[in-house]
Amino acid sequence: MFNVSTESRFRPPYLKTYRAYSEPLTVICSLLSRADNAALSERRRDPNLLLDARGELVKDPATATSAFENNPNLGFEKWTEYWRKTHGPRFIHAQPSEANGIQHLLRYDQIHRLPAGPSNESPLPYTPPVDAAGKLFDTVIGHVPEYRRPQWDGIAYLAFEDLAGLQAVFSQPEIDAKILPEDRAIFRELCPVLSRQHIVIPSETQRESILLVKVVRRKAGLSREGFHAAWLNQYARHVLQQPATTRYVKRYVQLHNIGATEPGQPFFHPVGHKIDGVSIMGFTSINDLEDFLLDPGVAQLAHKEAEFVAQEGGEYWTGLSYQVVNQIYPETATRA
């Protein structure tokens, strides 16, 4: 007989009671990068994360072996497997089932960056490398395009009714004793972005696995509040007017950063405080995402976005979503 795992009991179809919300939820959108040995000139690292095989902090990632995996050929695939199959269940196990435990965690998605999908480092349309005459080279050797990875490898996306719910979850003793030490071993950097969630297009199923993630910063001269208003009330309206949006986009969420901007304040992060928002669009398939981005009307949205979004410091990439917890049904558009 099939036994539902402890983790699966907190998401459809195994969970039997749900809640719905029309007001913006509070979300911790934690951008993260995996433990690896990339040089500091290539990728940032949190000075409190990344342990070596002895459990001590790594000083120079390029000259030390990570506690997580010492074979770089296995690093990315082992990390993405561990994060989903081991860390996810451990996080849920650390939450007691009684009041003030898991009930406050309304939704928890792991969004794993999918290198094969579109990104700002490798945008559409995809074209083969050819010579000056437009012909394929006789060999790929010497003509393989350089791989440039985005800054982040994924997002831990956790939604709560309010800040008190967030505090109830992260104040559990097991989180401090078991999960935070694990984070130090498996992540190179964790960048928490405390956000107010705005559902622009609610999902009918909440099971879209292919996501387009965009990390944005406001243009110089705009206040954060002014940027959020323009992004939600102007840009989102243009997105909704596109026929390709109606055809392909199954969910559209804007996360507005409401976190600290000064060192020493709760949730302040040296990178995160410069991020003004994160948008997430859900699709049924990679092909739908690619066709959406290739649509001429969607391509023109870049001009609208450039009116208030800075061109530097942001990124977008394709994500593969794994839903760990979801106590929300139905999902509805956030009340304006």
Q: Digits of tens for pLDDT over the chain (336 positions)? A: 345 566 778 899 888 889 999 999 999 999 999 999 999 999 999 999 999 989 999 999 998 888 999 888 999 999 999 999 999 999 998 987 665 578 999 999 999 999 999 999 999 999 999 999 999 999 999 999 999 999 999 999 999 999 999 999 999 899 999 999 999 999 999 999 999 999 999 999 999 999 999 999 999 999 999 999 999 999 999 999 999 999 999 999 999 999 998 998 888 999 999 999 999 999 999 999 999 999 999 999 999 999 999 989 899 999 999 999 999 999 999 986
C-beta separation of 273 from 261 below 8 A: yes
pLDDT of residue 313: 87
Phi, psi (rounded to 5 degrees) for 287:
-60, -40
Phi, psi (rounded to 5 degrees) for 183:
-55, -40
DSSP states of 7-74 as a string? Answer: TGGGSTTT----B--SSPPEEEEEEEEE-----TTTS---TT--BBTTSPBPS-GGGS-BSS-S-TTT
pLDDT of residue 245: 98
Q: Is 267 helix (H, G, I), strand (E, B) or coil?
A: coil
Q: How many CA atoms lie within 13 A of 280 on its CB side?
A: 31
pLDDT of residue 1: 36
Domain 26-326 CATH assignment equals 3.30.70.100: yes
pLDDT of residue 6: 66
DSSP states of 306-329 as a string? Answer: TTTB-SSS-EEEEEEEEEEEE-B-
Q: How many CA atoms lie within 13 A of 185 on its CB side?
A: 15
